[in-house]
Amino acid sequence: MTLPWWSAALAAGILLAIMAGPLGSFVVWRRMAFFGDTLAHGALLGVTLGVLTDIDPLLALVLGCVVLALLLLPLQRSSRVSSDTLLGIVSHSTLALGMVALSLAEGIRVDMMGYLFGDLLAVGQRDVLWMALAALVVCALLAWQWRGLVAVTVSAELAAMDGYPAQRLNVLLVVLLALVVALAMKVVGILLVSALLIIPAATARSLASTPVQMALGAIVIGVFAVIAGLLASFYWDTPAGPGVVVAAASVFVVSLLRRPVAS
Amino acid sequence: MLDDRLPLNVSDFLALSRQAKRQDLQHWLQRLGIEQLQRQSVHRLSGGEWQRVLLARALLNQPQLLVLDEPVQGVDVQGQMELYELIPTLRDELGCAVLMVSHDLHLVMAATDEVVCLNGHVCCSGHPDQVSIDPAYLSLFGRQPTMAPYTHHHDHAHCLDGHVEPVQVNGGQS
């Protein structure tokens, strides 16, 4: 039995939404939207390095994101420039550097549109397997360290008082975020990665009264957006990645009509 | 106060404590008189309620030394008195020491065993009675206020859940 051609795209999208829901919630709680965006832009440098050194592109992408995230973490704390300025500099210079380096590599053609806007319909079975493995690892780690991660997010000071390893939890969160950003690039592309993290979580905020509800709500909204985006692509021949983001944004606009839940 | 991007009620906030056990949590909520706030969002607490919730979070760790930095900040006068009455009883129950940082001279002088008066450096220390006659202390705080503040005679008080409790009015005590 062969699977229909759209099944890989659907599976990849849903797996991504499952990872992006809880991590996106942390991004919203900790005001890390720009951080996620910077990782996505920097990912292009990872792609370039992968092409130049002939490593597997997906592996290069993930490694690039994780290394960048780990470099940004201490820089943000001990910098002469403010955090958002630093992120702006890193974000755009890594993107530019990636593109310049790619153009210098002779005889290599890279589908730039695919990286900028994603190509959900080009996702293969191998990508889906990697995403399933990543989703398993990400969800297991988040569930295992959930209370500590939420405690550090609510107040790093109080968490330290309670004896949580705040520093290690921050590193864990940032590495997981880098992993998901790298994988999300395949689906929605560099420019739309942070939309997939933020919009479902922000939408879930007005429906949730506990952190867990917000994370699960973000998953449900993300999965809905993926299905809606793919359906639109199927029937109206719209691009899949942007379609997913438009669907998520529409749900967000509708959610604005509802007053936030007072728990 | 916390940002309201993260939905969180009082009970979940306290459960974030690493040592938190369900029965301890209930015990401290009752002891501090904030059980009725359990399901309330932490973003909608008054100053006094929030201080009590923070105190509960600290007490869940069974501290040997309780460090309170301006514990009555943002609390109304009535609530300040209640908190200052609560702290010594908690100290006796837990058998812990309390290190308190405060600008509130009268209450500090009335309720502490040892005062260290700081003004960039340690200017004097010791029992409140000694400190209050110390020349260094008097030169800092010895001036009598020139304003004559209005004193209001309260004839009732409010419990945390809002119901009115009559209070005896005797003399000038409010």
Chains A–B, number of C-beta pairs less than 8 Å apart: 59
Nearest to B6 among A147, A153, A164 (CB): A153
Q: How many domains does chain B have?
A: 1
Residue A263 in 3-state DSSP? coil
Half-sphere exposure of A67 (CA within 13 A, CB side): 14
Indicate whether B47 belongs to any domain.
no
Q: Using one digit for the tens of pLDDT, what is the confidence trace for A30-72?
A: 888 888 889 888 888 888 888 788 788 788 888 888 988 888 8
Question: Is B132 a member of any domain?
Answer: yes
Query: Looking at the domain assignment, is residue B117 inside a domain?
Result: yes
DSSP reduced 3-state for A119: coil
Q: Does the residue B128 lie in any domain?
A: yes
The answer to whether B39 and B9 have CB atoms below 8 angstroms apart is yes
- CA–CA distances in Å: residue B157 to residues B49, B150, B165: 16, 19, 5
| Mutate: best of A28, A146, A158, A207, partner B, most B CBs <10 A | A158
Q: CB under 8 Å to B45, separation ≥6 — which residues?
A: B10, B37, B53
Give the pLDDT confidence score for residue B143 in this predicted structure: 59
Residue-averaged pLDDT of chain A: 86
Using the structure block, give the residue that is written with the tokens 């099944």.
A7
Q: Residue B151: its pLDDT value, please?
A: 65
Q: What is the pLDDT of residue A263?
A: 43
What CATH code would you report for A7-191? 1.10.3470.10
Q: Residue B172's pLDDT is what? A: 43
Mean of pLDDT values over A90-95: 88
Dist. CA B144–CA A171, nearest whole Å: 55
pTM of the model: 0.82
Q: Which two tokens stand for residue A106?
A: 């002779």
B16 pLDDT more than 70: yes
Domain parsing of chain A, residue ranges: 7-191
List, in sequence order, the alpha helices (H) in A81-189: 83-104, 112-117, 125-144, 146-154, 156-161, 166-188
B153 vs B144: CA distance, rounded Å: 23
What's the whole-number mean pLDDT along residues A216-227? 94
Which has the closest alpha carbon to A19: A160, A206, A222? Answer: A222
Interface of B to A at Cβ within 8 Å reads 2-3, 5-9, 12-13, 15-19, 39-41, 44, 57-58, 61
Range name among A205-219, B32-46, B100-114 with the lowest pLDDT average: B100-114
- Specify if B138 maps to a domain: yes
Instruction: Answer whether A91's CB lies under 8 Å from A42's CB.
Output: yes
The answer as to whether B135 is a domain residue is: yes
Does the pLDDT value for residue B130 go beyond 80? no
Q: Which domain holds residue B121?
A: 113-143
Residue A44 near residue A95 (C-beta atoms within 8 A): yes
What type of residue sits at position A7?
A: S
Chain A residues with CB under 8 Å of B68 CB are none
What is the DSSP-derived secondary structure letter of residue B132? T
B127 in a structural domain:
yes
Apex B155 CA angle, B150 and B158, nearest 5: 105
Angle formed by the axes of helices A7-29 and A193-205, nearest 10°: 60
Q: Which residue of A has its CA nearest to B4?
A: A29
Of A240, A32, A62, A70, the C-alpha closest to A138 is: A62
Joined tokens for residue B20 = 């938190």
A223 contacts A18 by C-beta, under 8 angstroms: yes
Q: In percent, how much of chain B has pLDDT > 90?
A: 0
Nearest CA in chain A to B61: A162
Q: Which two tokens stand for residue A147?
A: 């209370």
Share of chain A above pLDDT 90, in %: 35
Place of tokens 């065993």: B113
Contact A164 B18 (CB under 8 A): yes
User: Which pair of structure tokens corresponds to residue A140?
Assistant: 């297991």
Q: Is the pLDDT of residue A17 over 90?
A: yes
* pLDDT, average across residues B39-61: 85
Chain A residue with Cα closest to B2: A154
Measuring CA to CA, how many Å separate B29 from each of A35, B24, B54, B81?
38, 9, 11, 19
pLDDT tens digit string along A159-191? 888 889 988 999 999 999 999 998 888 778 888
Q: What is the pLDDT of residue A238?
A: 87
Angle, alpha carbons A33-A35-A41 (nearest 5°): 105
In chain B, which residues have their Cβ closer than 8 Å to the Cβ of A154? Answer: 2, 6, 8, 13, 16
Q: How is residue B99 annotated by DSSP?
A: E
